[in-house]
Amino acid sequence: MKLLRYGPAGQERPGVLDAVGNVRDLSGVVDDIAGAVLRPLGLARLRELDIETLPIVAGVPQQDLRLGPCVGRVGKFICIGLNYADHAAESGMEVPAEPVVFGKWTSAISGPDDDIEIPYGSVKTDWEVELGVVIGQGGSHIAETDALSHVAGYCVINDVSEREYQLERGGSWDKGKGCDTFGPIGPWLVTADEVPDPQALRLWLEVDGHRYQDGSTATMVFGVAQIVSYLSRFMSLQAGDVIATGTPPGVGLGQKPPVFLEAGQVIRLGIDGLGEQTQCTVPAVAPVAQRQTALFE
C-alpha cells in the first residue's frame, strides 16, 4: 500500500493511492496515518479493504492536489549521520564506528512538495536525499534479526541542513537540522511488504536540473536493520517514529567549491519505488524584530 495524507497544511486527511494513481479517501476508516494505524494490526485491517470502493479524491496528487507529510503526529524524528562512506569522505570526516545519531525537530516536518524556506541570514543551506524508515511495532532492545518486522514502511526524506548552523556555531548538529520546512516527508508511505530489500534502493537528487546525488542504499555503512536495533538500545521506538538513514555523496558541502541553496531554485529528489519530491526554495520571512526595525530605517 501507498498511504498518504492530502489537503491543506494542518488539515490533512488520510488517504491511499489506488492502482491507477487516484487518491482514495480513508477518513471514514481511520482518523490519520499515525499511531496505532501503523502497527501490524492497523495495517492488516487496511489491507483487507477493497480500495476501489473508497471515495475518489478530486485532483491529481502532487499537481493540483497537495500532499502533506505521509505520517501524522510524529513523535520522534531521528537522523543518522555519515552513513555512507563516500559521503563521510566528502565531508572530511571518518567513517563512524557506531551510528551517529541526532534529531530533527518535528516542527521541521513539511509536505513533499512544500516550499523550503532559506532561513533568514543563512549562507549555507544544503540538501540531502535520504531513505526514511517509519516504525510500526514499537519496542526497545530490538534484536537486529527481528528489526525489519518493526518497520511499517519507507518514504523519501530531504534532510535539509544549514551547514554553518550545524558545524560552525558550537554544540550539536541539531541547530542546523531543525529549521522550519527542513523535513519534507513523502509523497507516500510505502508499506514494508512492498519493499523486499531496503538495501537495494536507488536514490537521487537534482537542483535546477543538475544531478548532484545518485546513490544506492546498498552502500550504507549501517543498514536499516542495524539502525533500528541500535536506536532501540537508547530509546523506546514507537509507532510513527521517523528515522532518516543518511545520505549518499553529492551534497552541496562536498562540491569543489561548495554549492549552497539560494531562494528561487527547484529541488527534485526521489527513491525508486517510493516516489519523488519537488520543492522550490524561498526566503524565510525576516524575524518580527528585524521587520519592525526596518520600518524606522
Average confidence (pLDDT) over 9-14: 97
Phi (first) and psi of residue 131, to 5 degrees: -75, 125
Nine-digit cell at 285? 520571512
**Whole-number pLDDT of residue 296:** 47
pTM for this one? 0.94
- Total domains present in the chain: 1
What's the chain's average pLDDT?
A: 95
Does residue 25 lie in a domain region? no
Does residue 138 lie in a domain region? yes
Average confidence (pLDDT) over 234-260: 97
pLDDT at 293 over 60: no
Does residue 135 lie in a domain region? yes
Q: Decide: helix, strand or coil at residue 114.
A: coil
pLDDT category, 295, cuts 50, 70, 90? Answer: very low
Does residue 22 lie in a domain region? no
Which residue, 74, 88, 82, 68, is CA-closest to 5?
68
Does residue 53 lie in a domain region? no
Does residue 207 lie in a domain region? yes
**Whole-number pLDDT of residue 297:** 53
What is d(CA 263, CA 231) in angstroms, rounded to the nearest whole number? 36
pLDDT category, 170, cuts 50, 70, 90? Answer: confident
What is d(CA 187, CA 194) in angstroms, rounded to the nearest whole number? 15
**Whole-number pLDDT of residue 204:** 98
**Whole-number pLDDT of residue 285:** 86
pLDDT category, 292, cuts 50, 70, 90? Answer: low
Phi (first) and psi of residue 104, to 5 degrees: -110, 140
pLDDT category, 86, cuts 50, 70, 90? Answer: confident
**202-207 and 210-216: which strand pairing?**
antiparallel
pLDDT at 290 over 90: no
CB-based burial of residue 207 (10 Å sphere; 0-12 exposed, 13-18 middle, 19+ buried)? buried
Residues 166, 177: contact at Cβ < 8 Å? yes
CATH number of the domain encompassing residue 92: 3.90.850.10
Average confidence (pLDDT) over 68-88: 93
Does residue 282 lie in a domain region? yes
Average confidence (pLDDT) over 253-257: 95
The secondary structure of 162-185 as a DSSP string is: EHHHHHSSSS-GGGGT-STT-EEB
pLDDT at 207 over 60: yes
pLDDT category, 173, cuts 50, 70, 90? Answer: confident
What is d(CA 285, CA 282) in angstroms, rounded to the nearest whole number? 9
Lowest model confidence (mean pLDDT) among 27-31, 62-66, 86-90: 86-90
- Torsional class of 50: left (φ above 0), alpha (ψ -120 to 50), beta (otherwise): beta
Does residue 54 lie in a domain region? no
Domain of 195 in residue numbering reads as 71-286
CB-based burial of residue 156 (10 Å sphere; 0-12 exposed, 13-18 middle, 19+ buried)? buried
* pLDDT tens profile 261-288: 999 999 999 999 999 999 999 999 877 6
Residue at grid coordinates 519534507: 184
**Contact partners, residue 186, CB within 8 Å, separation at least 6:** 4, 5, 67, 68, 69, 70, 111, 112, 155, 156, 275, 277
Residues 148, 226: contact at Cβ < 8 Å? no
What is d(CA 269, CA 156) in angstroms, rounded to the nearest whole number? 8
**Whole-number pLDDT of residue 171:** 80
